[in-house]
Structure formats: structure tokens, C-alpha cells
Amino acid sequence: MTQTTQPKEFFSYKGYPLVRKEDTIYFGSMADNYVVMLQILEKQKVGTLDVATKIKIYEMATDESLPPDKAIIKTSEKNSLYEALDIAHIWLSRAS
């Protein structure tokens, strides 16, 4: 009996895929023209949780032929993950 592998579903937020690896979060689909990368730069301990207090946001073109410095369209910095995701959602909504 063989076991078939189901494709993994990404967690999504406001209709866009959200993928995290350590302190880097990618928001959006690589199949689209743009994604947003969020880098958690600083965290603060609240109880037992680490809460992001400084996040750098990059809107990036997914065109692999572009050099990395040309792929970055715009940047911002926010003091909470909620604010960072809110800006990221606005950028992706406007780009589509």
C-alpha cells in the first residue's frame, strides 16, 4: 500500500499565504508579481512569549532575473507585527 503525499497548505492571513522561518516572514505568493518580506529585528519578552517590537518590511518583485537590490520596491519599519502585516497587506492589495 502506497501513501500519497498531500500538498501542504500554507497558513494565510487576509487571503495571502504567510510563511515563517525563524525571524523572517514571507507574505504573499511567489506566483504573484510581488511578495512582502518581514524581518523581525528586535523582540521583547512578555511573560513567556517573545513579542516583535521592531520589524523591517520589504516589498519585493518575484522576478528572479532582477538583482536583489533592484527587486526591492519599497521598505518601511514598524513597531509591531500587526502594524507590519497591515502595511504588507495594503502593499500587496495595491500591487494586484
pLDDT, one tens digit per residue, over 4-18 is 555 567 789 999 999
DSSP 30-75: TTSSEEEEEEEEEEEEETTEEEEEEEEEEEEE--TTS-HHHHEEEE
- Return all residues near 8 (Cβ < 8 A) that are at least 6 apart: none
Would you say residue 34 has pLDDT above 60? Answer: yes
* pTM, 2 dp: 0.84
> What is the chain's mean pLDDT, rounded?
91
Q: In this predicted structure, what is the pLDDT of residue 10?
A: 73
